[in-house]
Chain A
């Protein structure tokens, strides 16, 4: 079965640079969630989208923005990167219209800021 795809899997950036992370949900899933997991930490919710509209917002810095496109893939844009942004970024998808809220996670993008 198709899973959530994230790209790139690894990304190295320098401070003050910009990064774009991409997420391709499971086919026919309408909801995308982004989570950030710092080293040794639990995943923290950043933001979610349902049918291309922002659904909920968590502890996402103002330097970050995200959107969901017409094909339901999502991109997380991160600007003015800081060392503290180094983390594993997970995308998850679910099918809200089917009545199932179970979230399926991608393998994550490991961002290292130097």
Chain B
């Protein structure tokens, strides 16, 4: 079956620190990979995506590269801000598998001044 494993949180960083949130996956077929962000009390927002191996998704200073050889899609940002504090979900979608999203357990990020 399909599954996503994320590093556990919470992750607490100082402003301007470097961020890495690890994500690995198991999938039957060829998945598309996503990072969603959920701010407190809000819904899920797509942060970035990659649809094939070696693709790099990027948005708002966040990046993630689809690594088929290591089945990973780690999220990185060079300099976090307090406003980045949120829960980050890694997810996959297998085309032909109904296109439903399978999420990881989420990683809470807290950025402090």
Q: With an 8 A cutoff between CB atoms, is A90 at the interface?
A: yes
User: Does A45 contact B105, Cβ atoms closer than 8 Å?
Assistant: no
Does chain A have a CB within 8 A of B100? yes
Q: How far is the CA of A94 from the CA of B36 in the complex (A)?
A: 15
Asked if residues A42 and B43 are in contact (CB atoms below 8 Å), the reply is no
Assuming the contacts A43-B44, A101-B32, A105-B45, asked whether A58 and B100 have C-beta atoms less than 8 A apart, the reply is: yes
Nearest CB in chain B: distance from A9 CB, A: 10
Contacts of A102 in B (CB 8 A): 46, 49
One of A42, A101, A107 near B103 (C-beta < 8 A)? A42
Q: In the bound complex, do residue A101 and residue B93 qualify as a contact, i.e. CB atoms below 8 Å apart?
A: yes
**A90, B100: Cβ atoms closer than 8 Å:** no
Report if A64 contacts B (CB, 8 A): no
Nearest CB on A from B108, distance (A): 9
**How many residues from A make CB contacts under 8 Å with B?**
24
Rounded to whole angstroms, the CA-CA distance of A58 and B49 in the bound complex is 23
Asked if A68 lies at the interface with its beta carbon under 8 angstroms from chain B, I say: no
Chain B residues with Cβ below 8 Å from A44 are 103
A104 to B36, CA, bound (A): 10
Report A41-100 residues with CB < 8 Å from chain B CB: 41-45, 48, 55-56, 58, 90, 92, 94, 96
Interface membership of B14, Cβ < 8 A: no
- By a beta-carbon cutoff of 8 Å, the part of chain B in contact with chain A is 32, 36, 42-46, 49, 89, 93, 95, 97-106
